[in-house]
Structure 1
């Protein structure tokens, strides 16, 4: 019976660690999104370049799928 009570403590610590990881991912993701939206390049913003790249890759992918 002592072992069951002992096992509950690490589970509580694990749930707190999961919350900490979520907060870290949220901060990093927010920073990356803000850099993509705010930063300006010489010709186009990084966000515009990213969207353009996705459109180009999707176009090539859909062409490849249409081949017999």
Structure 2
């Protein structure tokens, strides 16, 4: 599990995927979210601009990111 410390109140889903080095570009992040490859707190979520906050868990391709 990757622990990611968020600066401020939240981080957009696309930026989180890039910051955790799970995708190479923002464009790739948008595609994987739009195709339903990303889970947010256990549910598939298609929102690219989703505000991920401390306590949330994002899953992508077998990796979990816990936002702290």
TM-score (norm 2): 0.24
- Structure having the larger proportion of residues in strand: 2
Identify the structure with bigger relative contact order (alpha carbons < 8 Å, sequence gap 6+).
2
